[in-house]
Structure 1
């Protein structure tokens, strides 16, 4: 169907519709030419092409100028709404009404951020935009930019240290690594793990490469230290249930640690050594800067985490 439309329009100059409209309303080639700021021969030539395109005379001479044929009257009823709609599209910015919108957004994020974000976001959409649906696709900082460029997702959520000139980034919140464990199985002298306690217990690791070493191990190696990792997975789904049942420690971003702690009655501790903080941001293609629906969704994410931060601060 697309090829048929393209082939039909390839041989038709849409500017001819403006000439048709002027001729129809002015009923005079001369006045139509003046209205269009064209010479009369140019309008006569355009009328000739209109007649060839539609296979009809369209306008016939009368004592008072020109009069539309029945075919022209029929065309006018269809062309005028089309030109009005096209004018509105070109001159008025697009709008997005969440309450009535029927749209599917594709977002890319890790499973940990999905666990953290989507319950809150879907609760908001249910209340304010019941026709809006989300498709979550797994991604990370190494793949998100390419997925945006390829149109696989419209919005990415994650840690993006770099942002290309043709992409946009909006910060959401900061996070740091913490340790999560079952306080009934991992005994500590204080609420905060010491280095000795951190190293004497076994560990579970989430690594996108699913290896037995990660950033924390590299950090420990700088000081000549080593921990024992007994389980590694590329996602966060299993680890909280392992640490709930075994005397092991999981070191994870604090935002997912809070979810595990509250849902599974676990304990959370800062690390016994310094690690850098990170920033979770929204990222999208600059080509979508004028998409009001995407801008609205970005605001929903930002507002959700602003309020979540306020609730944490009031505890």
Structure 2
């Protein structure tokens, strides 16, 4: 595209080239007008403009109808294939065939979504689209719009605030929280952790801006309670080894609790107070609305999120 000299097209209506090819095929102004659904005067006027542009008669009247000049034949040979390619490009409906596709997606995930969705997603892609590759990049709620706008990722999955008008956000599922700690930290065999136990122990908090205050603290305040946050990290993946050794609690998205219970031997408890669930969404730029490959991947992720949600229930 960088080789196109725009000035060479100045003053030329490219529709005239279509008219020229139809005239050369039909060798008749009246028949060409019928094919183009135009009046005969309009086609005659187009032929006059073409003659002026190319400085050639192009079509000459004879007993057998209008005959093309040598210049017209040269144009027909060159423009015919070019306009057929243009026609194919503008009329082609994009399709995506997962089984045969070779495509790389930049997928933005916070690390907790990575742990939750990436294993089943990769297994699904291996089965349904073996030529598709994923490159996972770290993101968080505060960087989604910037990273999508800068094409640092094609798609993001997580808990995001409402973005700019061009950001397409599709809710995947609602999700709550669970409290996680090492075995033996909470005494007794009760099915629920008490509010006193919850607030008496130190807490580990994941925050993307280094704050020691979060959603949980906002939910505790109306109850006249507070917790002591002893440690913050921008990564959920850093918590399990700490929880194994430190007498502390962590309140995490509910999908992490069974994973950490299985992989790290941690215990999981419902929260002893009400807290609003959050929404996990998928986000992309509106310029990708008609990208069939990206929309297919969105559908796969949506199905997995729903299935995983049923499993958690």
The TM tier, using the shorter chain, reads 0.7 to 0.9
Instruction: Tell me which residue corresponds to 1:144.
Output: 144
Give the CA deviation at 1:121: 1.4
CA RMSD of aligned residues (A): 2.9
Q: Provide Cα deviations, 1:15-56, integer angstroms capped at 9, x if missing partner.
A: 13202211221123454345331525413224225525xxx7
Cα deviation code 1:119-143 (max 9, x no counterpart):
2212211221122223333333333
Shift of the alpha carbon at 1:114?
A: 1.9
- 1:214-241: per-residue Cα shift (whole Å, max 9, x none)? 2223333443433332221112121111
Q: Aligned residue for 1:250?
A: 250
The equivalences for 1:258-269 within 5 A come to: 258-269=258-269
Q: C-alpha separation between the residues in 2 aligned to 1:82 and 1:187?
A: 75
From the superposition, tell whether residues 104 and 76 of structure 1 become closer, same or farther in structure 2 (CA, over 3 Å).
Answer: farther
Q: Does the CA contact (< 8 Å) of 1:282 and 1:298 recur in 2?
A: yes
TM-score scaled by length of structure 1? 0.83
Q: Which residue of 1 aligns with 2:170?
A: 170
Query: 1:176-200: CA deviations, max 9, x gaps?
Result: 121111114x133124322222233
Q: CA–CA distance in 2 between the matches of 1:141 and 1:20? A: 56
C-alpha distance in 1, partners of 2:83/2:211?
Answer: 60
Residue 164 of structure 1 deviates from its aligned partner by 5.3
Gaps of 5+ in 2: none
Determine if contact 1:33/1:43 at 8 Å carries over to the other structure: no
Distance 1:296 1:194 in 2: 45
**Which is further off, 235-244 or 156-165?**
156-165
- Secondary structure of 1:93's partner? coil
Q: How does 1:110-189 map to 2 (within 5 A)?
A: 110-162=110-162, 165-184=165-184, 186-189=185-188
Where in structure 2 are the equivalents of 1:1-315 lying within 5 Å? 2=2, 4=4, 6=6, 8-10=8-10, 12-36=12-36, 37-38=38-39, 39=41, 40-48=43-51, 51=54, 59=59, 62-68=62-68, 72-73=72-73, 75-162=75-162, 165-184=165-184, 186-189=185-188, 190-313=190-313
What number of residue pairs does the alignment pair up? Answer: 309
Structure 1 gap ranges (5+): none
